[in-house]
Amino acid sequence: QSALTQPRSVSGSPGQSVTISCTGTSSDVGGYNYVSWYQQHPGKAPKLMIYDVSKRPSGVPDRFSGSKSGNTASLTISGLQAEDEADYYCCSYAGSYTRVFGGGTKLTVL
Amino acid sequence: EVQLVQSGAEVKKPGESLKISCEGSGYDFTSYWIGWVRQMPGKGLEWMGIIYPGDSDTKYYPSFQGQVTISADKSITTAYLQWSSLKASDTAMYFCARHSGNYGNYMDVWGKGTTVTVSS
């Protein structure tokens, strides 16, 4: 299995919206509604931001939203803030209790 | 408070064995999958495998099958990641994470990570 495909970097100004895509196959992203997204600041552990494609854990701002169409999932961050600058990883269930991560996207807030 | 506490940084030589740990607290340790994620220096996250401490059922990502061993001791609510013969390419940060939801499909609680350095 290969890693899911994410853009290496995206950027936006404070207050703007950005969308990060995550492309897989019918064996992972397209086959299950089990896509999750993680935020990782430098030197820190990842943090769950979205699960089951579009659900937000308690405490995650509603500026973060997730969606999926076919084999591509997306994370949208609206009203960008400086503290959103981080690496973002998607992850999909891939059957047989395994999962696969995307390669990661570096978000820069200009 | 639900938390995972990982063991400290390790420096080893190639060929040596190693077992790192991840102690869970604040939740029913036997009712959630718990797994390991690798992050090589400057690289992305890689899902390695999981164990269900309730019955020790274990699943591995294909590229890690046979390279590491995941185990758990439910009596002390601790999961382990083990190598029998380390390589320089095992140098990385290793995170443990609680897996929740259907099939344990998302990771909602993370440890702070254990740095493993393998160098002669």
Confidence of residue A97 (pLDDT cuts 50, 70, 90): confident
CA distances A33 to A44, A52, A62, A70, A86, Å, are 27, 6, 20, 10, 25
Q: What is the mean pLDDT of chain B?
A: 96
Interchain CB contact of B61 with A (< 8 Å):
yes
Q: What is the DSSP letter of B8?
A: P
Q: Is-contact A74 A22, C-beta < 8 A?
A: yes
Q: Do B61 and A100 touch (CB under 8 A)?
A: yes
Angstrom distance (rounded) from CA A104 to CA A40: 10
A-chain residues near B95 (CB < 8 A) = 45-46
**B104: chain A residues, CB-CB within 8 Å:** 97
CB B85 within 8 A of CB B15: yes
Q: How far is B84 from chain A (nearest CA, A)?
A: 23
In chain B, positions 75-94, which contact chain A (CB-CB < 8 Å)? none
Asked if B102 is an interface residue toward chain A (Cβ–Cβ < 8 A), one would say yes
Model pLDDT for residues B33-56, shown as the tens digit of each residue: 999 999 999 999 999 999 999 999
Q: Which residues of A touch B32 (CB under 8 A)?
A: none
pLDDT one-digit tens code per residue, B66-100: 999 999 999 999 999 999 999 999 999 999 999 99
**pLDDT, tens digit (0-9, with 9 covering 90-100), for A2-51:** 689 999 999 999 999 999 999 999 999 999 999 999 999 999 999 999 99
**Contacts (Cβ under 8 Å, ≥6 apart) of A62:** A56
Instruction: Verify whether the Cβ–Cβ distance B106 to A91 is below 8 Å.
Output: yes
Return the DSSP state at B53: T
Chains A & B: contacts with CB separation below 8 Å: 74
Q: Where are the alpha helices (DSSP H) in A19-96?
A: none
Distance from the Cα of A45 to chain B's closest Cα (Å) equals 5
- CA dist., res. A66 & res. A35, Å (int): 9
Radius of gyration for chain B, computed over Cα atoms and rounded to the nearest angstrom: 14
* Residue B93 C-alpha from the chain's centroid: 10
Amino acid B66: pLDDT: 96
d(CA A72, nearest CA chain B) in Å? 17
Q: How far apart are CA B70 and CA A63, in angstroms?
A: 37
